[in-house]
Amino acid sequence: MSDSQALVKTLDFQLNIQSDNEGLLYDATLEARRVYNETIRLAKDGVDWDAIPGRVADDANLVKNTTQRVVAKALGAMENYYEYDNFGLPSHTKDGAYPIRANYEEGYNLSPTDDGDVAFRISAKPYKHVKGVLEGSDSHLDILKTALTRDEWKIGTAEALFHNDNAELHVNITNTEQAVRDKQDSRTVIGVDVNEDNVALTALSEDGVENTLVIDSPEIKFERHRYFTMRKRVQNAGKESVHDTLEGREERFVRDRLHKVSRHIVEWSQQFEKSCIVFEDLKEMRDSIDYGTRMNRRLHHLPFRALQFYTSYKASFEGIPTAWINPEYTSQRCPICGHTERANRNKKRFKCKDCEHQDHSDRGASVNIAVKSVKKLNWNVPALNSLPVVRKVRRQASGAVDAPTVTHSTVRGYQADGLMGVSD
């Protein structure tokens, strides 16, 4: 058995600093550089290392905890050079601003605001604080908000630094109770096929396909097209402020739906023994898309990576690992016989010209994703002589509707139950 991987994350944010103390943080990073370089100088001059922290702290215009961390970092660097460098001691001094390291609730604090933001307070210098609001990706902000409200998450050290003249805060968080299981220890893989209007899931174990689910999410596609049309109209009318407002509303709507779908994926995956959620690696997809102006716009705006990221970190909260596979041929390959031909697909209908297997095309793709993952984990691929009934979830105004749609097709002498179409 492989060891579990401790769940540790580093979250990166930009600092929206209150205008009355914008220069304070930068001054503190310059003082941190001076402390670092002074530590290096004393160590090279042969001063007893145990005495260096006290000598440096006496003159440092930094919070005590921050000074201790800068000194420890400098001495650690010197120790590495003593151990590995046979050509004498390099100067190893720093230029420019140097990151301020601080412990949570000692050198810095974070707190949710009534507006849904996260406020920060950094002790830049003794009795002088830098305050403001964190800015950054929605995914990192969402993780941090979760960590701030759940006892099993520990918020650890952070670094305040300047990158390309922009102030940033990098926060380390650790789950003290839950570790992400090593994916090699998985007993069930969940193939996830993300599409324009749904997400198809298939759970595959060494015994075969355990279950399958299609989560419909047509409202994302519909609302994105609606907002695109509205933005074009107001842009043509020269109303840029309205354009920005509509764009913000669209982003909030899509983000809300993606969180709901990703939560559903993780909850469904939890029912299976030692599950591992598997996605297609689509990071190269946008570079290769060229299906005409209208279709390119639709596909480029699909939130594939966002949904994968939301699902991945929600899964990590539950100790479930995630993995990625090459997406090649997952949509064209027959999951039963392995025959590959692009013409096998017709919208949501898949029919193999070799074995005549028929299925919901997206469900078939999720099976192929799961099979590829099984091969990557060096399992024996189970026989897929038949596929179980697909359950389909639609999100409607009245809530989620969960119901099976059943059709039958003969597959090499076996009866296969599969979702063959979409019925309302």
Contact yes or no for 194/308 (Cβ under 8 A): yes
Burial class (CB in 10 A: 0-12, 13-18, 19+), 126: exposed
Q: How far, CA to CA in Å, does 328 sit from each of 3, 298, 332, 356, 366?
A: 31, 21, 9, 22, 13
Element (H, E) at 56: helix 52-59
pLDDT at 283: 66
Domain boundaries, the chain: 5-179, 181-418
Q: Which two tokens stand for residue 313?
A: 């970190």
Provide CB contacts within 8 A for 244, sequence distance 6+.
none
Short-list 121, 178, 96, 135, CA closest to 15: 135
Give the model confidence (pLDDT) of 241-274 as tens digits.
555 566 667 677 777 888 889 989 999 999 999 9
Give the pLDDT confidence score for residue 109 in this predicted structure: 95
Q: Give per-residue pLDDT as tens, 367-415.
A: 999 999 999 888 888 878 777 777 777 654 334 444 444 333 323 222 2
Residues of the chain with pLDDT under 70: 1-7, 80-92, 177-178, 224-225, 227-228, 231, 235-248, 250, 283-303, 342-344, 394-424
Residue 243: what pLDDT?
53
* Predicted pLDDT at 32: 94
Angstrom distance (rounded) from CA 261 to CA 269:
12
- Could you tell me where the DSSP H helices lie in 105-149? 138-149
Please tell me the predicted confidence (pLDDT) of residue 300.
46
